[in-house]
Amino acid sequence: MSFRDRQAAIERFKTAGTPRVLLASLRAGGVGLNLGEATHVVMYDRWWNPAVEMQAIYRAHRFTRETPLHVVRFTVTDTVEERIADILNAKERLFDDVVESAETTAQDFSIDELMYILEISIGDLDS
């Protein structure tokens, strides 16, 4: 899509009556696309880097926003996508516990947590 076509599509999204839908890839939603008028963000594909997803969500969620933003993530069960979701959840918990912690003292996480994220079992280390 050309830059002119993209701008026209965004303007239609912002000004058209409801219901309205704008489909964009996760990468497009995370790079230079601000849609403060959006009411929902639906993720159909998960990304290995949770920061990419969060950046795309933040494009619709701005500090001046007065209405709620609903974020929905779809995951297909019993697939690699479900494994990605598990890893992303573990990374998010680890980040919150270690980096985002309000405490200023050093915090540790267990060797089991590290091995889970890296998918290494203790037996693998002995070989």
Report pLDDT digits (tens) over 66-111. Answer: 788 888 888 888 988 888 888 888 888 887 777 766 665 556 767 8
pTM higher than the cut 0.85:
no
CA distance 43 to 29: 10
**102-111 pLDDT, tens digit each:** 665 556 767 8
**CB-based burial label for 30 (10 Å; 0-12, 13-18, 19+):** buried
Instruction: Dig out the tokens for 2 from the structure.
Output: 């050309």
Instruction: Dig out the tokens for 71 from the structure.
Output: 């974020």
Q: Choose among 82, 85, 61, 81: nearest CA to 71.
A: 61
